[in-house]
Amino acid sequence: MENKFCWKLEYTIVLFVIFAIILMIMPFSIDNTRQANIISRWNEKINRVEYMFSVINAHITDDILFGYEKAETPQERETYLLSLMKPYMRIKNCPLKRHYKTRYMNGSRVYKGQTYYFPDLFFAENKTIVGIKDVKTENPDDPYFIMMFDMNGFIPPNKWGRDIFGLNIYDGGVIKPFGFDKDMKELKDDCSKNGTGLSCSYYYKIGGGFDE
């Protein structure tokens, strides 16, 4: 009788241990699956944006060029480019009114006035949040615009490299993800819990793993 009781006790302990291990593993598994899905959607988005600009460039007219050149301020240029992109990305006309904060992958806040702070954000298809910012300088090698995409909208974590990614837009509609000019070590360092996460935009495009 005592042996039977001991067997049941050991069996119960083993079950509890297995159950505890499952509970410990499950959140990581769910999070990894969610992150893999976001990365897949991001890679699809890059292809969509590249295709969009190839179509826009193919149908560029003198009126469109004149309209862009007539825009005198960064805000006017941003508005003009958005108007060209809206039919392809289903961007809604009204900027977001709801409070929305973004962070870098290392947890630090993105503050107003910083390069990667986007004052005007819009809803696009699949509840994606889209931002566009004019960053044109006198250097012809610099991008004309940068764009950000929060792939799951208001849903957390709202962090660069986790659910937020970005693109540089150069003269002629050339698209380059953030981080394209870094080597592999720089990409891995930045696309980590100690980095900004900005370079994840390119790192994931070339097959980098989010769990490395």
Our count of domains for the chain comes to 1
| Contact between 190 and 182 (Cβ < 8 Å) | yes
DSSP label at residue 125: G
> Does some domain include residue 78?
yes
pLDDT of residue 162: 95
Distance CA 145, CA 54 (A): 16
- The structure's pTM equals 0.80
Distance CA 185, CA 191 (A): 10
- ∠ CA 205-207-212 to the nearest 5 degrees? 115
> Does some domain include residue 11?
no
| Contact between 40 and 204 (Cβ < 8 Å) | no
| 86-135: pLDDT as tens digits | 888 888 877 787 788 999 999 999 999 999 999 989 999 888 999 999 99
Contacts of 28 (CB under 8 A, 6+ apart): none
Nearest to 71 by CA among 62, 83, 63, 79: 79
- ∠ CA 131-136-139 to the nearest 5 degrees? 145
Residue type, 113: G
Nearest to 91 by CA among 49, 130, 124: 124
160: containing domain: 42-203
Distance CA 186, CA 198 (A): 11
DSSP label at residue 95: B
> Does some domain include residue 183?
yes
| 158-190: pLDDT as tens digits | 999 999 999 999 988 899 999 999 999 999 999
Distance CA 54, CA 49 (A): 9
Distance CA 200, CA 160 (A): 8
> Does some domain include residue 211?
no
Confidence at 212, pLDDT banded by 50, 70, 90? very low
Distance CA 210, CA 142 (A): 28
